[in-house]
Structure 1
Amino acid sequence: MFRNRGGGRGRKKPSSSKKKEEIKRILVDLTEYKTTQCCGISYYNPFVQFYYYMRKMIIIYGWPLVFMIVSVMFGVKGAMIGLVGSSGLPYAQKYLKLSAIEMQKYGIVASFPWTVKPLIGMISDGVPIFGYNKRWYIAASSLIGSGAIYFIATYKFDRSNGLYYIAGLTLINAQVAIADLLTEGKYAEAMRYNPSHSASMVSYVWGNITLGGILATVLSYIALKDENYHLLFWMALPFAVQCFLTSASGLLPELRVKRSKKGEVVVDDDEDDDDDEEEDDGMGPSNAKKSVTFADSEEDEETKKAKREKRSMNMMAILMGIICVVIAGIQIAGLDETTVLAITSISCLLLSMLIYFFLPRQLAKATFFLFITSVLSVSFGGAMTYWFTVDAKCNPGGPHFDYVYFTVYTSIVGQCSGIVGIWLFNIFFSKGSLRKAFWISSVISSLGSFFDYAIVKRWNVDYLSIPDKAFYMFGDAVLESIVGMMAYMPSVVLIAKMCPKNLETTMFAILASFANLGGSLSGSFGTFAMDYAGIKTDLTSGSCNWDNLPNLILICGICLPLLAIPLTFIFVPNILMTDTITDFDNSSKKVGDKYVTEEEKKSLIK
């Protein structure tokens, strides 16, 4: 299913047993190579390891999916969004003259497409374009994103037309969110069929994102050094365009679908003979036909149940979309912060109710954990970013980091730390407990905020005589990236294990979007916290106030993330990274914990 058909309808594809034998042969070759040397090249040579790693990934998942991940994750989510992100701070401070609170609010609006992923997944699953659920959605969004990048690259912005800039960023984020979601749906589906290699896929995906980010950081140096901020968007444009080319050419593996007489989206009969899973299941042509048309009464009942499940998820996606619009709308509506806090709190409560109303108990618990831990990490990034980078008039005695240092140098260190995080995850956590992985990420997150607390209190200068740049570089810049890896990877593994068969894209979107929504709510709560703490950053008049920033860091940055540790005992299943849902159900019986009801074992969705 995850390979291009390439040879047409009559071409026979390798069976599942042959595929497993090929993987086993590669692993045997790798084991033998460990004890040998070829032309003086040891197995421990990183190039040799990379060769075998890529060879294994292509055999397991197929080269089209492997290289489409490079196009989307490296090219778009890594390089393109990295270049666009590097422009955010200069545009906000130099052109738009935004305060820290305004910058954070507009950031929530610009990230709106990430929070409506369920709607995107619902539409792509139910409304194929030219017979494909993913290909042309990625291609169309890539064209729109490319147009938005060109617009920002050529337009001159000031405080009076800042909403145009935010609109352009929103369209760019729409391209990244759509391409990311639809690719995620495909590799999540692949991971479900290859659970023992799920950690390898997660590492591969995040590795591409990290390497793309490193490239973006290096390219950003050219524009930031010369203060040519529009150049960042010109550099991002080719990465947006290449995604259109790869998606339009059909590199992402997917079967062509069509509308049945009943109006349902079904696999095109002309494509049935090419489906790998039919051969893997040992089904002949007649049985394969029945699997598509659901001829017998038992399958008709399963079809009705699937329709009910899909309607339930669609309703959930629509309600989530409405809440997302409200959250984004209140950021630019000019409401007072108390009203914003009330609406944000109500939205948080409604989203929590949606989780437990539409999802079965175990799936709801995992989803709620990802959601609530994101909310509890109350974001005040706008205040910290401004404290580090504003001039002496706004922050006397502050670090006054320039854009090249703050965006380029620290990002390079951060990206390299991200690679270290990937390595640590693979070595120590890829086969370990999900709970422990979340514990470690929470502790490191609090430790990173402690470095922020120390530098704001000026301890590094007054007591340790460590310059600001060195203290920040080897403290917060390193730990923040490792936290991102250690939190992201177990979350993806957990989500992938929960995705039900044949609904990967929509379900993955719903679960992932709750985490994104948690981030938006965290930012909204953060704007209230900054306003309540009296943080002021008026770049026009130079009137600023940072008196309560240390208290903000102590409460929101150090203490609140640690609440995730006790929550894991309630909401995260006590399973290993390599366990499947079946393994989890069996382990639940052994330890006597009733994690999953009998009905939930039959279906992960109501």
Structure 2
Amino acid sequence: MRSSSPKFHRLVQHRELEEGDENGRPPQLISLARVDLDDGGTPSASFPPQSEPVGLHSTSKQIECDSGRELLDPKEAISCSETQVAASDGESRGRKYPGVVVSWMGQRVSWIVMLNRELNVSFVFGIMVIYGFGQGVGGALNKVVVDYYWKDVQLAQPSSVQLYRGMTTIPWEVKPLWGLMTDILPIGGYYRRPYFVITGLLSAVATLVLVMGGQLWVPFAVGMLMVLAACAAMSDATIDAEVATKSREKPSLAADVQSLCAISLSVGSLLGYSVSGLAVDKLGSQGALGLMLIPAVLLLVLGFVLHEERVVQKWHNTQLSKQLWIVTEELWITLKHPKVWRPTLYMYLALAVSPDISEGKFFWYTDVQSGPGFAKEFVGAIYATGSVGTLLAVYIYHKRLKKVSFRKLLFWIQFLVAVFGMLDFILVTRLNRQLGIPDHYFVIGDEGLTQAINRLKWMPLLILAAKLCPPGIEGTFFSLLMSVDNVDPDEDILEPRQREEAIQLVETQVQKENGLASSV
């Protein structure tokens, strides 16, 4: 690690020079290198620093000085650079706004390139596949298309749908089991790759059965959806193990890794929600399920391209039992630490005490008689707005909040959660109409703000969880921490009643309004 004591630097010309043209123009200096004099004169960083995206401002920051003279005075070099920057800025004043957009896009591309260089290309691709297409696109389709499948094909009621939803979350509740398998059970010498192949194949089969099976027997349809959920949970646990490993090996990039995960999820969700309503309208409630084949195929591809060292080792029952005991002991030792169990308890309580009436709101959204009767395309647009809010929250956290202390950040975010949690109450009691806010605008704003705040609440917890994972049991430990949002013993019993009560409240209020309107 480099010393934090002050260092003296000098700027020297970099040896990368443009070649002179045929008219005799002398070569020009492209960049400067900073040399730490107390490190033996070895270039340690470029000027500008490497933390800034390389090549984004090469035109505006090109330094044209005397190529035959060494710049020993840093002030002289900086002055020369500033002169060139000012000249270039004057030339580009007429195209300011396009330049800002190009610069912003270039920064994002340079950030991705940096992650590919530091973390491995296949790892970044895996995050985009699992979070972007698996949880993003697949999760959006599961939220919208599957709800329409239950409503239009199976003709189920909201309380029944919530019961089925609760059953399909069982694979997520046992997510630590999938993480344990990826940690101690290699297949063909690999701990990660085979599980992506297996989940991709099973997902494809289950999707085809749902699409081509017509009106399936309800328990069988629930079983196929549970298979899809199990595949999603297993692939998520597998990539989470890789995320935890990279975060532990390079803690300085832990926040960047979680930002990449969240951005991939947000962009994928935005894409999925944008096409889900249109897909239901054009392909039908059952045919639209076929879009879930896209994440399944990409999982298969990931299983073959992910970089992983093969382990040549023969497993026996005694060795497996010993490994299980070691993993259990390490988990217990880690969980007993206050820095682990306190954030975990907060994560559980923050989710357990927050009621969710999203399923009831979906049926209310699409109810023409008692609800606003939103079109299918607009229902997808509502959830797409939530993805935009999530994406904005990730950007704010990455740029402004990732250096703020967790305690201070979580306090204010939890305060905002409590305040904006009242938006659902305003919506179901129709107070927004009394305030002059149409349902369309209020629902869009509600979804965007709620999802943004929820993502801000999760970002520091995800980073902390990834850094705390002990080596060797990354998948098990990270899955255990992340599964607390599914372990709610009263969820499947209480939430259907809460949703029904919310719907009944809305229906009663609408009937009162209709009665008053007719009397007038």
Q: Shorter-chain TM-score category? A: 0.7 to 0.9
- For 2:385, the aligned partner's letter is V
The alpha-carbon distance between structure 1 residues 357 and 253, as it changes in their structure 2 partners (threshold 3 A), is closer
Select the residue among 361, 374, 378 that pairs with 1:401: 374
Matching residue of 2:231: 175
3-state SS of 1:387 partner: helix
1:549 and 1:112 map into 2 onto residues whose CA distance is 36
Deviations 1:547-580 (A, max 9, x none): 7999xxxxxxxxxxxxxxxxxxxxxxxxxxxxxx
Distance 1:401-1:227 versus aligned 2 partners, 3 A rule: farther
> Paired residue for 2:50, among 15, 26, 39?
26
Residue 501 of structure 1 deviates from its aligned partner by: 1.9
Secondary structure of 1:399's aligned partner: coil
Gaps of 5+ in 1: 1-17, 266-303, 317-354, 538-543, 551-606
Q: Give the AA of the match of 1:418.
A: T
The CA deviation at 1:508 is 0.8
- Of 306, 316, 319, the match for 1:251: 306
Determine the C-alpha separation between the residues in 2 that align with 1:48 and 1:124.
37
Aligned to 2:186: 128
Distance 1:100 1:185, change over 3 A: same
Q: Take 1:112 and 1:549, find their aligned partners in 2: how far apart are those partners?
A: 36
Question: Among 196, 209, 213, which residue is 1:151 paired with?
Answer: 209
Q: Does the aligned pair in 2 maintain the 1:33–1:43 contact within 8 Å?
A: no
The size of the alignment, in residue pairs, is: 433
Distance 1:390 1:368 in 2: 38
Q: Does 1:467 align with 2:438?
A: yes
Secondary structure in 1 aligned to 2:128? helix
Of 89, 97, 101 in structure 1, the residue corresponding to residue 147 of structure 2 is 89
Cα deviations across residues 438-458 of structure 1 (Å, max 9, x unaligned)?
A: 234323333433222222222
Distance 2:365 2:415 in 1: 24
Q: Answer yes or no: is 1:477 the counterpart of 2:501.
A: no
Higher relative contact order structure (alpha carbons within 8 Å, sequence separation ≥ 6): 1
State the AA in 2 paired with 1:362: K
SS in 1 for 2:470: coil
Provide the C-alpha distance between the structure 2 equivalents of 1:364 and 1:60, rounded to a whole number of angstroms. Answer: 31
**Is it true that 1:310 corresponds to 2:327 in the alignment?**
yes
SS at structure 2 position matched to 1:379 = coil
Q: How does 1:481-520 map to 2 (within 5 A)?
A: 481-518=451-488
**Are residues 1:525 and 2:494 paired?**
yes
Contact 2:129 2:298 in 1 (8 A): yes
Contact 1:43/1:49 (8 A) holds in 2: no
Single out whichever of 75-84 and 204-213 deviates more from structure 2: 75-84
Q: State the alpha-carbon separation in 2 of the partners of residues 527 and 549 from structure 1.
A: 20
Query: CA 1:72–1:29 in 2, change beyond 3 Å: closer, same or farther?
Result: closer
Larger of the two Rg values belongs to structure: 2
Q: Extract unaligned runs of 5+ from structure 2.
A: 1-41, 62-84, 93-98, 511-520
What is the match of residue 297 of structure 1?
none
Match of 2:402 in 1: 430
In the alignment, is the contact (CA less than 8 A) between 1:90 and 1:403 conserved in 2?
A: no
| Separation in 2, partners of 1:262, 1:468 | 61
Matched, 1:196 2:252: yes
Give the deviation of 1:479 after TM superposition. 1.2
CA drift at 1:21: 7.2
Deviation at 1:126, TM superposition (A): 2.0
| Deviation at residue 85 of structure 1 after TM alignment | 2.5
Query: Is contact 2:210-2:224 (8 Å) kept?
Result: yes
1:377 maps onto 2:351 in alignment: no
Which residue identity does 1:256 align to in structure 2?
Answer: V
- Among 416, 437, 449, which residue is 1:444 paired with? 416
Shift of 1:211: 1.2
- Cα separation, 2, equivalents of 1:356 and 1:214: 40
Q: Over residues 212-259 of structure 1, what are the superposed CA-to-partner deviations in whole Å (9 max), with x where a residue is unaligned?
A: 112212322432333612232222213211211221x14143442523
Query: What amino acid maps onto 2:271 in structure 1?
Result: L
Q: Percent identity?
A: 19
The equivalent of 1:568 in structure 2 is none
- Equivalence map 1:104-115=2 (5 Å): 104-115=162-173
1:165 to 199, 206, 221: 221
